[in-house]
Structure 1
Amino acid sequence: MNDYIKSLTGLTDNLITFDPRVAEDDRLKIISANPTARHPFARQEHCELYLRQSYPNACPVCGQLMRKNGFKTVYLRGLEINGRPLVLVIAKQKYLCPVSVECPTLVTDLARVQGINVNHQIMPNVQQRMLLALTEIHSVKDIANQLHVSQTTVYRQMSQLKRHFRPKRHWLPEVLALDDFKAGRFATSGMSMALMNGKTHELIDVIESRTNTCLRNYFYRYEYAVRANVKLIVVDLYQPYRSLIRDLFPNAAIVADRYHVVVQAYQALNHVRTQTMKALPSKDKLARALKRYWRLLVKDAAKLNWHDFKRRTGFGGAQLNEREVIDRLTATSDALSPA
């Protein structure tokens, strides 16, 4: 095989050749999509390159030269050629060593391609491209579509990177952010904890569970001096975290996460609004207005429109801007009125 084909496919094996059973003009051809095909490679339009791997092979038991016993066709997914995924169709030589005095059992073998692991169907250059894509901000679905592989393949490649991204146990940032999230089957409790650098917003690690025992066991891996160096911890309003943080980080101040503070304020305001609605008669226009214009009550004051006057339902057809609507809504209850 010439160097051009090697660079095109990413193969490094010098023994692999073109399949002589295929005409020279058909060794690289475009195959139309076949949605009903059993093999996933054939379900979309792609390019096929026909190769063969055959060499003298010694029996691993007796050391004698094995007999050639036909070919087995395997498929390898390669990178794109002219916008179409490349599929390497490799006819691998099958070997047979019959039973004899030197070899008491039947031994079979299959030719191997250098640089390709047994039973793998994806070329190493595709895996390398996948790793590069994972270092950037792309969704798993986009990476899978770009490289013409399944999302499961991308997830499998991500799991292999785990050993290369182990957190440093001798260092923690001065500002530490903790945020729990729903992790599904990853955590036995259903919720995991993300550990982030509060200044750079970089992810440090993901703790499997947010339970008290799991968090203590995790942070006790760090030396006391490392935990004492943490000055500020940003966390949500979940009360059990407070006592845990005071025990683990003696010099750290606790700051409530701004997102959760806003959520608490929104829920409290919405509760007061619904209670005010229930206190009014069901057909009261102000009760309907509280339901209709609830978004204005939670809108940022700096983004309110003071200039456009529109006819507002529930206020007798009055022409009001958004600021005036809010003033009339809050006047319906002392609880909604600004302090």
Structure 2
Amino acid sequence: MMSQTDSILNLLNIQDPNIKISACTNFSQAGVHEKLLSATLTYPVERCVNCGSTNIVQNGTRLTKMKLPSLGEQPLRMNLRKQRYLCRTCHHTFSAQTQLAPPRHSITRQAVHEIATLAKNSLPVKTISQTVGISASSVQRILYKDQRALVTPKELPTALSFDEFRSTKNCFSFICIDAKTHDLVALLPDRLSQTIREYFTNTYTLSERQKVQLVTMDLNAQYQTFVRRLFPNALIVFDRFHIVQLAGRALDHERLRVLKGINDHHDRNYKVLKSNWRLFHLAENQLETSQVKYYRGLN
């Protein structure tokens, strides 16, 4: 006569005879009602998996929270206590194993099969996640395991240039180009450090990123915090445009400070600082040293 434990195992299509179910309870978490099975996994071990010694003793248990296929619309989980073993010869410890799930995995093969079956019906990841009771990220990881991208990213150039620009309304986007050819390397929807780090670490390996020798950027401090980690061999160079711009702003700030200190608005110095401010921003090749130029009001 089939026992109650065997009936539950048969219902769940669990073929491992070493699993013994002790209880079945209802469990609620974050508004989700689940069935929770309590079970143990143990069997006699004759030899150590490390050295082959027969001096093996039981060494407690380890709890593994496993995900089983759902029963109807109710998620099903199993708290499986795996027997631990200790080899007194080599002092190596190991756990009892089962074909229910791969080693060091908590999602059972039956749950993985259910995810694949639902995906064949063109269901979205969110729907599969809600049906099986597994997070959407875990569903994606299972579906796209061992899959390679159809589009291989281009090889990183040795010199990169970082900048941001206003894309929509008040939102700024990040752009990365080849500093030598000006070809586009990356265009991201925002300029957050986390977005930039995740893109380069997920798209390019460390060996590829180590080939970058130069990164040009503006004086944005947030870029400097992660560039050295993303491209450990790269030299950071500040764009000369931004350096000139910074010097021009400092010059204008000092000009206005001196201007506000002159009370006589008819003073020649005041006129020079007020209306002829462009003279202070002329490039070196625009300065005339051989001919005298007359400015009205300055005589």
Range class of TM-score, shorter chain: 0.3 to 0.5
Query: TM-score if structure 1 supplies the norm length?
Result: 0.41
Per the normalisation by structure 2, the TM-score is: 0.47
Structure with more strand by fraction: 2
